[in-house]
Amino acid sequence: MLPLFLSLAIVILAAFYLGSRLIRIEYEFHRENWEDDGKPADYFSSVPGSHVSRFAVSTSWLFATPEWMKGESRARKLIVWYRLLCLMFLTGSIAMVYLQFKRL
């Protein structure tokens, strides 16, 4: 169980890193969109802003690709990996809960 937990910790940290990169791209190259999104802060405090709007954009980016990302090749690549990592974390978390209850 510990190896699965540690693997999930690495996966979610990688997802946070990619989410921060996406927010930084939006902040640096698409400032108007960043402001329209509520000025989201990144996960590692290099972009100042709102933590609430960070949660909102991080969640919405799982299901929809904003227009500014469609024209940004780096962002398109990052969003695919971000979504994959979040899916891995979700499925791994479900598996961990299932395995824990199976042990009981």
The count of other CB atoms within 10 Å of the CB of residue 34 is 22
pLDDT at 55: 96
pLDDT at 45: 82
pLDDT at 53: 96
- The whole-model pTM stands at 0.93
Query: At CA 75, angle to CA 7 and CA 80, rounded to 5?
Result: 45
C-alpha 37/C-alpha 54 separation (Å) is 9
C-alpha 7/C-alpha 104 separation (Å) is 23
* H or E stretch covering 10: helix 2-29
pLDDT at 37: 97
Confidence of residue 19 (pLDDT cuts 50, 70, 90): very high
User: Average of pLDDT values for 46-63?
Assistant: 95
